[in-house]
A and B are shown apart, each in its own frame.
Chain A
């Protein structure tokens, strides 16, 4: 079964294509940069073992991949590559990198809603993406704020085609028989258990609920449990908050009509007055793009585990120097001494800028601005045992840094004061313990 499913995916050695920079979610997604292009992307990693436990898991994933392969639109997530690594029994789906989702942004606000112009901005993109999907015969079936993500430049991307369905090329219309999306976003025909219903209208209803949610901060229908909820969806007349824009109220009414055949199509939605009208952005009330993962930071940047140097001179403590994970691996693998003495000095170029005594090749020298020279001492120990070995070595042979100091005279004078760096302990690396 497996070789058939993934025969067209990149196999073996695929892992070398990308390197994981930062883990965001312990289970599923990591950021990465494919080596070839250095573009930031998201990778969804799935284990075969986990998939087998889910009914139809493998088939669903395979279907999602096939579906995504045929799609190319700026408001639909783009599947860059699929890698299937047999050794690891994992599937890697490389996709566009998104910063945050609408649901996260809604949760970050107190009223759980966006200002109207911001909803308008996102809804237009959603409608455009949906129109594209429908033109391709794809019914998403699970439109909700949680499945709408934003990229770095605030472009909306529709994600998660796990329950999506592609209508057969020869089908007469969009009639479908099942839908498995989130209950709150289900239309009455699904809630009521209709046998057949037009598929595209399911997405229109869900998009309507999404818009309702973004503008009002609540859901049009509520229920204590799924049964009650479905009952309310089928029978309760829609109540649209009267404080919303009148044209918006009419659009929501049109999108949330109980009868799917009366409901607006996505083309009609796009031509609706509210969508066509320009909204004036008010940037003060804008809900910023902040995600949980960025921990309150305004901008989510590439993150590498940091190794901070010990700095003797506090005056320069804002000059943070980092050694990267890559370098640390070199250190640990090097099985040599772990000295790294650096001397930064006057930028007026009278004195050497930086002296490094190390077995780690530093990537390059850099100009550090500052008046006084500072010394940075850095010691990494692989284990306590190794540290002891190193100390013994120091006793028998002259200390390499002392050696350097004697050569440089006054330059490294401060280096004698150096203290060992406190621990660097990182998960996933061979035991690094406190020195």
Chain B
């Protein structure tokens, strides 16, 4: 029942949109665990970078301890089945998953830049530059549109669930919280089920989902989360990260919206300096504020956010419509690729010397953030 491994014949020709792979051995022995990256899901599992011995290429291994999983296992199972059904260049692909002893292994392609949150933590502490954001969000919108067309609501779009591979392509992952709007063969317009681990995603969750009233929510909840994610990646800080969850919930229900910090939106704070009144009020919520004054986001970026975080879900544009937004359209004229923008952060590749890689070594992040912040694949 618990075996997710594909038939060996299928594995022999594993190819997933761009990744050319040697056949994967479905056994623990075939993999060398090189480097542990991060515990995930409250220590129920760990993420490793592993070397596949026969092919000598690297993969990301997510290993869950089945004994610690408990109820969580059902969600992990659902996640695997969901991801298995998806095939899109901007959605994570699980190559193989299998049970070995007490552990559930999930093998994924190596993703060079890891998650977008990791980029912020490791180098872009002040937020990613706007062109990079536009490129990332273009890909994410593409993936999101695909998901929505399949009736899947992601429900936990956030920085840690956006991965960037070494070619600069962004992928969506983190389907543990997702749900399907097709229930018992019927496409439900309104979903009422409340994600069991909502506290993790409270900062990103849309007000209609938190309200839990009879109106329910739809796939537009993902668009809201997308807007918050743009603020997160643009500001280099998770919106409302210093507030207690109860307050976040109440404020969201009453329509408080996040926005991008830049010289236009925050100017008055610097004119004022960090003096008692205003600075005192904001000092604890805008950690990255001092540098925000040097940045300037375009009007379209601000507009993109405010459209995404529209309180009324029906007024929010769909993923498809957002694709035509000027903020996304600016990528058409760009001749620079994402990896160049992300310089000097280097992706992990098959050749990278692990253990010396800066990205892997310095794991500093705010302990107040959710425990699975970095590699919640």
Q: Which residues of A contact B (CB under 8 A)?
A: 19, 33, 35-40, 97, 99, 151-153, 289, 298-302, 304, 322, 324, 326, 347-350, 352-353, 355-358, 360-367, 369, 400, 403-404, 407-408, 411
Contact = CB atoms under 8 A, between A and B. Distances in A.
Nearest to B201: A38
B254 A353 contact: no
Nearest to A411: B268
Contacts of B151: none
Contacts of A38: 198-199, 202, 210, 245, 249
Contacts of B211: 301-302
B247 interface: yes
Contact of A99 (B214, B248, B269, B282): B214
Contacts of B299: 348-349
A324 B268 contact: no
Given A363-B251, A364-B240, 7 more contacts: A38-B249, A97-B212, A152-B216, A300-B213, A352-B268, A353-B259, A400-B277
B243 A363 contact: yes
Nearest to B297: A349
B214 A289 contact: yes
B216 A302 contact: no
Nearest to A34: B199
B284 interface: yes
Contacts of A299: 213-215
Given A302-B211, A361-B285, A404-B277, A37 B253 contact: no
Interface of B: 190, 192-194, 196-199, 202, 210-216, 239-240, 243, 245-251, 253-259, 264-269, 271-272, 277-278, 280-282, 284-285, 299, 302, 305-306
A349 B302 contact: yes
Of B248, B251, B306, the most chain A CB neighbours within 10 A belong to B251
A347 B264 CA distance: 10
B194 A366 contact: no
Contacts of A362: 281
Contacts of B240: 363-364
Contacts of A366: 255-259
Shortest beta-carbon contacts, A-B, top 3 = A153-B192, A349-B264, A352-B268
Of A326, A357, A366, the most chain B CB neighbours within 10 A belong to A366
Contacts of A152: 192, 212-214, 216
A355 B278 CA distance: 8
Contacts of A358: 277, 281
B264 to A, nearest CB: 3
24 contacts: A33-B246, A38-B202, A151-B192, A152-B214, A300-B213, A300-B214, A302-B213, A324-B250, A347-B306, A352-B266, A352-B267, A353-B265, A358-B281, A361-B280, A361-B281, A361-B285, A363-B247, A364-B240, A366-B257, A366-B259, A367-B265, A367-B305, A404-B278, A408-B271
Main secondary structure of the interface of A (DSSP, over half): loop
A360 B278 CA distance: 10
B192 A363 contact: no
Contacts of A153: 190, 192-193, 214, 216
A349 B202 CA distance: 28
B313 to A, nearest CB: 13
A151 B282 CA distance: 40
A362 B272 CA distance: 17
A194 B196 CA distance: 48
A35 B246 contact: yes
B257 A302 contact: no
Contacts of B202: 38
Nearest to A362: B281
A350 B215 CA distance: 37
Contacts of B278: 355-357, 404
A361 B242 CA distance: 12
Contacts of A37: 196-199
A407 B250 contact: no
A407 B271 contact: yes
A251 B271 CA distance: 78
Contacts of A352: 265-269
Contacts of B197: 37
A43 B239 CA distance: 31
A143 B66 CA distance: 42
B291 to A, nearest CB: 17
Contacts of B267: 352
Given A304-B250, A367-B306, A408 B281 contact: no
Contact of A40 (B212, B264, B271): B212
Contacts of A289: 214
A344 to B, nearest CB: 12
B56 to A, nearest CB: 45
Contacts of A363: 240, 243, 247-248, 251, 256, 285
A139 B229 CA distance: 51
B268 A355 contact: yes
Nearest to A357: B277
A364 B285 contact: yes
Nearest to B268: A352
A366 B261 CA distance: 11
Nearest to B283: A361
A13 B271 CA distance: 45
Contacts of B246: 19, 33, 35, 326
Contact of A367 (B210, B259, B281): B259
Contacts of A99: 213-214
